[in-house]
Amino acid sequence: MKRFGTWIGGCIALSALVIAGTGVGQAGTLRTTDVPFRHDIRALGMGGAYVAAGRNGSAFLYNPALLNQSHVNIGLPISLGVDANAVDMFKFINDNQASLEGFSNLTIAQQEKLFSDMTKFDGEKIKFRVTPMFNIVMKNFGLAGYGAIKGGGGVDKGIFEPRIAGDGRIDCVVALGIAKGVSKNMAIGVTGKYINSRATDFRFRITQVGNTFDTVLDSLKSGDAGVALDVGMLYRLGERSTLGVVAQNIYGKVGNDKYPINLKAGLAWTSKRLTLAADLTDLLNKDGVSIFNRVFMGAEFRIPFISLRGGFYQGYPSIGAGLNLKIVKIDVAKYKIETGGRPGIAGLGQLEAQIKIGWGW
């Protein structure tokens, strides 16, 4: 009875915090997908499900209560990500570099051919991500710092000559998490985050690339700072199954940007070799999208040194793999994100790779 009362008390406390945070989600706040967040490569390979299944150095960024079951993890991971169509665009720009830079000197026929070849890229931006990180994690304690560097670029036909359109964002985050077991089966956790953000957005004619580079860099020199808070719970349903609930950014504000609360729930089943997981994110539907856009599920199968992963990320198949050499670990993932309001409208392929030097999971 005492254990049941403790569980109820924890749920009431978490619910109270969620209700208190819902006032932040008003007009003018960011979308949940625009809030700085470091996605774990292992999670992406598993279809993005990690609220109850996380088990490495960055798991507490998904749910701080996961620190209650963490082992020592000290690492320096760096991940690289890019849209799947980036290869085609880079090849087009590389193959046509001379023609783009000397566009005004081309004949009418050559300009028309260049415009025709450019059609499939017109107005579309490719995105790339570089995310260095350090983490120190042990049971009930986690410290992490990371920089999320995101950029996007594309070709616009323009009216008289092609233009380059781009944007960039740099988010530097320091996160400190703590957790505590409040009963045999339940743990709660809190993560505080300091965030510094800066961004740029630009558009210029292809012949002006050299004159604009310094301007773009100058626009990234100043930014805004703020803080955010996550609260999470982990409850053991059985010997191998767990339930996770987290309210991410229950409070969050950087500069004039308010962060919407992102309430998530997840289930996980784990054995020695296999993990199955499923998450439902944005339970309050702050983004106003279909429920199927907020479902993530997947699995991981482990054998010595190798992990194989698969799942469904917003309904699209995802695959991933990991090579664990103890001191060095390499992970890759391929998946799609849904950029439309409901599944199957506009799936955009993503490729991710990470190398980690350190010790632990």
> At 337, is the pLDDT very low, low, confident or very high (cuts 50, 70, 90)?
very high
pLDDT tens digits, residue range 243-302? 999 999 999 999 999 999 999 999 999 999 999 999 999 999 999 889 999 999 999 999
Q: Which helix (H) or strand (E) holds 78?
A: strand 73-83
CA distance 42 to 62: 12
Contact 14, 235 (CB under 8 A): no
Average pLDDT of 21-28? 40
Classify the C-alpha dihedral 88-91-97-98 as positive or negative. Answer: negative
- pLDDT at residue 5, as a whole number: 41
Average pLDDT of 97-102? 79
CA atoms within 13 A on the CB side of 319: 0
- pLDDT at residue 160, as a whole number: 59
- pLDDT at residue 194, as a whole number: 97
State what percent of residues in the chain have pLDDT above 70.
81
Question: Which structural domains are found in the chain, ordered by start?
Answer: 2-359 (2.40.160)
Average pLDDT of 38-51? 96
Q: Could you tell me the two tokens for 346?
A: 């506009």
Distances (CA, A) of 57 to 54, 175, 241: 9, 12, 21
- pLDDT at residue 344, as a whole number: 79
- pLDDT at residue 133, as a whole number: 96
Average pLDDT of 346-350? 88
Cut 0.85: pTM above it: no
**Amino acid letter, residue 96:** N
